[in-house]
């Protein structure tokens, strides 16, 4: 009997729990729906706020990165422009140096040609002077030989003349020629001619005659016998 009563009590209690669960289930469902609706309503806003925050941070980071990159790019551009300007200036300096070097080389070649021309002219002048000197020497030798032959011929003529005639002949000649003829004569014949010459002419010829180291002492004139 007690067992049967306990079973009935348990059955009633179970039914009571089931009924309460059935009654409370709509309430739980409503609360869950409200929570879901609230979550659905508030979550997009929060998500949007979080997303906006993150996006702003990223934008700030990107903006900072972009500004830093722009600055670095500007510095690199300025550095490249400076290097390009220096290279252009160096190229201009090199071109100017090449032009000056080319001009100096042209001047040096011109100066070298002038020096070569002057050296050739000096060489030609020396050769010409040497040839002219040789010719003059040959001419002088030839003239000397010819003059010597002529003087020897005149000496022989004077030796065949009487002293008075030879004196008159020599007095009519140039003193240098007359002294050269007397220098080729023997001392005795030359003295005989000088003795009958005019005294002034005889003195002048004697002075020139002394240059030949053969000057004879003039003899006094002989008085003619009548």
* Same domain, residue pair 84 and 138: yes
The residue from 85, 108, 143 where one domain ends is: 143
pLDDT at residue 164 in the model: 92
- Of the ranges 57-66, 91-100, 128-137, 210-219, which one carries the lowest mean pLDDT score? 210-219
* Residue with the larger pLDDT of the pair 138 and 112: 112
Identify whether 109 is part of a domain. yes
pTM of the prediction? 0.34
**Rounded distance between C-alpha atoms, residue 134 and residue 137, angstroms:** 5
Question: Does the pLDDT of residue 215 top 50, yes or no?
Answer: no
Q: Pick left, alpha or beta for residue 224 (phi over 0 → left; psi -120 to 50 → alpha; otherwise beta).
A: beta
* Same domain, residue pair 138 and 86: yes
pLDDT at residue 219 in the model: 42
The maximal CA–CA distance of the chain, rounded, in angstroms, is 244
pLDDT at residue 145 in the model: 67
**Rounded distance between C-alpha atoms, residue 67 and residue 162, angstroms:** 140
Identify whether 41 is part of a domain. no
Three-state secondary structure call for residue 161: coil
**Rounded distance between C-alpha atoms, residue 154 and residue 169, angstroms:** 10
Identify whether 18 is part of a domain. no
DSSP-assigned letters across all residues of 27-82: HHHHHHHHHHHHHHHHHHHHHHHHHHHHHHHHHHHHHHHHHHHHHHHHHHHHHHHH
* Same domain, residue pair 128 and 88: yes
- Residue 205 binned pLDDT confidence (cut-offs 50, 70, 90): confident
Q: How many domains does the chain have?
A: 2
Identify whether 154 is part of a domain. no
The conformation of residue 214, written as its DSSP 8-state character, comes to -
* Same domain, residue pair 167 and 132: no
* Same domain, residue pair 132 and 106: yes
* Same domain, residue pair 130 and 171: no
- Residue 32 binned pLDDT confidence (cut-offs 50, 70, 90): low
**197 closest CA partner among 179, 159, 215, 171:** 171
Identify whether 189 is part of a domain. yes
The residue from 143, 170, 194 where one domain ends is: 143
The token pair that represents 4 in the structure block:
């049967």
* Same domain, residue pair 125 and 184: no
- Domain assignment of residue 117, given as a range: 76-143
Identify whether 102 is part of a domain. yes
Length of the chain: 226
Q: What is the pLDDT of residues 153-187, one digit of tens each?
A: 888 888 888 999 999 988 888 888 888 888 888 88
The residue from 88, 112, 143 where one domain ends is: 143
**19 closest CA partner among 31, 29, 11:** 11
- Of the ranges 14-28, 57-71, 181-195, which one carries the lowest mean pLDDT score? 14-28
Identify whether 34 is part of a domain. no
**Which class for 5: exposed (0-12), middle (13-18), buried (19 or more C-beta within 10 A)?**
exposed
Over range 3-26, report the average pLDDT: 55
Whose tokens are 């004697």? That residue is 206
- List helix spans (H) across 161-186: 163-172, 175-184
* Same domain, residue pair 88 and 126: yes
Identify whether 198 is part of a domain. yes
Q: What is the pLDDT of residues 67-110, one digit of tens each?
A: 666 777 788 888 888 888 889 899 999 999 999 998 889 998 99
User: How distant, in Å, are the alpha carbons of 106, 112, 198 from that of 124?
Assistant: 27, 18, 55
- Of the ranges 39-48, 59-68, 128-137, 205-214, which one carries the lowest mean pLDDT score? 39-48
């Amino acid at each position: 009997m007690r067992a049967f009563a306990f079973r009935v009590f348990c059955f009633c209690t179970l039914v009571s729990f089931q009924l309460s669960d059935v009654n409370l289930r709509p309430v739980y469902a409503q609360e869950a729906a409200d929570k879901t609706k609230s979550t659905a309503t508030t979550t997009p806003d929060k998500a949007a706020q979080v997303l906006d925050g993150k996006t702003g941070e990223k934008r700030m980071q990107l903006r900072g990165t972009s500004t830093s990159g722009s600055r670095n790019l500007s510095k690199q551009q300025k550095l490249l422009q400076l290097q390009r300007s220096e290279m252009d200036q160096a190229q201009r300096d090199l071109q100017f140096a090449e032009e000056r070097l080319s001009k100096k080389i042209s001047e040096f070649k011109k100066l070298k040609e002038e020096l070569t021309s002057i050296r050739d002219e000096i060489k030609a002048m020396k050769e010409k002077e040497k040839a002219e000197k040789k010719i003059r020497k040959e001419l002088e030798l030839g003239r000397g030989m010819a003059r010597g032959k002529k003087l020897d011929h005149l000496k022989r003529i004077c030796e065949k003349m009487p002293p008075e005639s030879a004196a008159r002949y020599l007095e009519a000649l140039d003193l240098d020629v007359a002294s050269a003829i007397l220098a080729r004569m023997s001392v005795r014949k030359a003295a005989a001619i000088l003795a009958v010459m005019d005294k002034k002419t005889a003195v002048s010829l004697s002075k020139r005659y002394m240059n030949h180291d053969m000057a004879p002492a003039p003899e006094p004139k002989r008085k003619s016998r009548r």
